[in-house]
Amino acid sequence: MATTTAAPATATKAMTSNSARPADAELVIGLVSVSDRASAGTYQDLGIPALHDWLRAALTTPFRVETRLIPDDRAQIEATLIELVDTARCALVLTTGGTGPARRDVTPEATLAVGTREMPGFGEQMRQISLHFVPTAILSRQLAVIRETPDHAALILNLPGQPKAIKETLEGLKDAAGASLVGGIFAAVPYCVDLIGGPYIETDAAVCKAFRPKSALRPTPAA
pLDDT of residue 20: 41
AA identity, residue 4: T
Measured on CA atoms in the order 193, 112, 151, 80, is the torsion positive or negative?
negative
Q: For the chain, give the percent of residues with pLDDT over 90.
A: 79
Cβ of 207: how many Cβ atoms within 10 Å?
17
Exposed, middle or buried by CB within 10 Å (0-12, 13-18, 19+), for 16?
exposed
Q: Which domains does the chain have, with CATH numbers?
A: 23-216 (3.40.980.10)
**Burial of 86 from C-beta contacts in 10 A (0-12 / 13-18 / 19+):** middle
Model-level pTM?
0.88
Residue 76: CB atoms within 10 Å: 16
18 vs 14, 15, 21, CA distance in Å? 11, 8, 9
Task: Give the model confidence (pLDDT) of 85-114 as tens digits.
Answer: 999 999 999 999 999 999 999 999 999 999
Q: Give the largest Cα separation in the chain, rounded.
A: 56
| Element counts in the chain: helices (H) and strands (E) | 7, 9
The percentage of the chain sitting over the pLDDT mark of 70, rounded to a whole number, equals: 88
The CA–CA distances, whole Å, from 177 to 71, 87, 129, 174, 181 equal 41, 44, 19, 8, 11
Mean pLDDT for 3-20 is: 40
**What CA–CA distance (Å, rounded) separates 30 from 2?**
9
What's the pLDDT tens digit per position in 112-144? 999 999 999 999 999 999 998 899 999 999 999
Phi, psi torsion values for 116, nearest 5 degrees: -105, -20
Which residues, in sequence order, are CB contacts of 95 under 8 Å at separation 6+? Answer: 32, 33, 34, 77, 81, 107, 111, 156, 157, 158, 159
pLDDT tens-digit series, residues 41-70: 999 999 999 999 999 999 999 999 999 999
